Structure 1
Amino acid sequence: MLFKSSKVNEFRLWGLLLTMFGLLIMVLGMAGIVFEWGTVGRVIAAVFLVLGLISVFASMAVYFWAGMLSTSAVVLECPECGKTTKILGKTDRCMFCKTILTLDPTHAPKETEPATQQHTPQ
């Protein structure tokens, strides 16, 4: 996965994408009225406006769901950046520095091998 984010931020991203998609569909639907395509243009405009409205309502539902999940999330301080972040589920990422966080030691990420110490001649 190229982009890594916390689960709450992922939900918010989907809400934003649904909002932008809905508004784009509504703007495209207005072409039926602006370019005066007659009755067919009005039908196209009506269909696209309804589809855009459904997408905006879906984004509102996603934002509401993310807000409800956010209120029940465990709040803790990230050990890497020291900022307060929220965890959903068994593992999650810090909202700021993207460090993998968990409250269950069995789900902790494997540490990389420590660097070998080099001895300098004295």
Structure 2
Amino acid sequence: MKIDNTVFGAITIDGKTYEHDVVVRLSGEIVKRKKKLSKKLYGTSHVLSKDEAKFLFEKGCDQVVIGSGQMGNVHLSPEAEAYFERKGCEVVLKPTPEAIRMFNRSHAKRIGLFHVTC
């Protein structure tokens, strides 16, 4: 599985373009991001909540690569940060184009969350 490209509002993975935020599971499965888990608490999907962190994490995951948007507007809440730390999971938070490069190069057991706007 390879993430090919991103532009504002879309991401292309293995030749298929998604026009919404995505999560890449450990298995390589691609699912739509559950932004509502964060939006209900913070009023925005630009702050990743503990509930969304719980949805994102999978047992066996060593690393979560988060594409924080084209301009890097997404960040972790303190509770989400603490959750990943307790799980022993490294978080890499970079603007989406840079996060894609890191995700593709990483050899860790990783999950990816990619915000495709902002």
Settle same-fold status: TM greater than 0.5.
no
TM-score (normalised: structure 1): 0.20
Higher helix share: 1
Query: Larger relative CO (CA 8 A, sep 6+): 1 or 2?
Result: 2
Which structure has the greater CA radius of gyration? 1
Higher strand share: 2
TM-score (normalised: structure 2): 0.21
